[in-house]
Chains A and B, each alone.
Chain A
Amino acid sequence: MRDQKLWTWHLAAGAIILVLLGLHMVIMHLDALVGIFNPAGGHPIDWANVVARGQSLAFTATYILLLGAGLFHGLYGLRNILFELDPAPPLKRALSWVLLLVGVGLFILGTWAAWVGHQVASMT
């Protein structure tokens, strides 16, 4: 049952990444056509535009969602690759735990950074 569910989440995470990376590309590279994400004008990574996006709770939520989807998709993919080297069952369990802890740790760190960024931008 576990692999069926993990694979389904892997696909779902891929779809989320596709949408959010598409949004990222639009914001960063199609600013001449879609200017609403860069209210201060100029380059999309100008400080004023970064702050403007950071003030938005919806944008902060997409940062956290993309982080979670990217971490799960990447680390589950890495786990699959490592499992194909046919490690012994105890090593498989250890790898799964290490990847899980790394993923959860990075997610907590990234979520904290995104939230602090949102608060700093809101105070600006």
Chain B
Amino acid sequence: MRKGLLFIVFIVILIVFWPYSSVQHAPAADPTEFVSGAPRLARLLGAADSEGYRQALTARPFRFPEDHGPHPEYRNEWWYVTGNLHGENGQRFGFELTLFRFSVTATSVADDSAWRTKQVYIGHFAITDLRARKFRVATRYSRGGVGLAGAQSNPFRVWLEQWELGELPPDGGVDESAQAWYLRAMDDDIAIDLTLMPRYAPVSNGIDGLSKKSAAPGNASYYYSLPRLRTTGTLRSGEQIFEVSGLSWLDREWGSGGLSLDQQGWDWFALQLSDGSSLMFYDLRKTDGTRDLYSAGTFVAKDGTATPLSRDEVVIDVLEYWDSPAGGRYPMGWRMTIASHELSLRISPILRGQELDTLVRYWEGAVDVAGERRNNAISGRGYVELTGYAADSPAP
């Protein structure tokens, strides 16, 4: 979800470090000087100039398929897919593929060279292989020009070099009722080639799709989700290829705002429950350790009906902690209680070390859910993202 904002910081780091070839020299400078924890991050994001970009100020109805495509007049945007999959013999996998678009300037850069663009694409791809207890990550960067990376709405397609998310042709023969999508990504040890089938229409988050992150106008985004995508395809982990199936979650968000200075980071939960309902909640943490007022979420019923969740409706207790070998202490086990929906859930990671030790260090991983709803046992799976807990590492 909002991790996308993190990648503005990514660009900052890219700027500072692209001159240093990673093959030749480790930079002598300590990169943490640039991004030493989230307050610094928030300051950078807050400082990021959103002037000249279109702002997410008022709610607007989403229109599809156009809104699946890019919104280049906004500063940042992302296509963000996570999912829990299993192989034919029950092997458990989690995956994350995120494609971010950032515009580095608000002004027009028309040029006769196809390379000239203000759009930058960044991708993160991770696979959690529970049986092998392996968590593998890959990153990509590219300009959004000359065909190397880009996005379009008709037919919908977003790609970063070989990584690609798009709609299958309607006669793909999968299901007449909804548009099926494909998702492909690969790196040295990992790959996915999946077909995604939505169960219902996109769900708007926030207030009619406008998700406010702080009191400042413009510190908001347009945000919709496809919480339950039936997923089939193949997955490669190391040398092995698996036929997999399961459920995925797509988040789409665009806007031009940043964080406010007193925000430290966030905990984001996207859970798919066994009764067909789903919920998304992000908990914004302030530098003083308290929960930010703008923490919010959405509860989606089995039929796709969405109900907003406010900060005060959702109570989260941390049950366990985990110390990253690279430094930083993450919460690693929660009890989430939502009285308004009579939900009580215990959330635990399927593997602790699902930390992405990339330029910006954060934790994002598959989780198991167990608990009760209206006194009936309920289970589920999902993804959790934790940012602002650790200082960042040098270039990969």
Q: Do these two chains interact?
A: no
**Chain B residues at the A interface, C-beta cutoff of 8 Å:** none
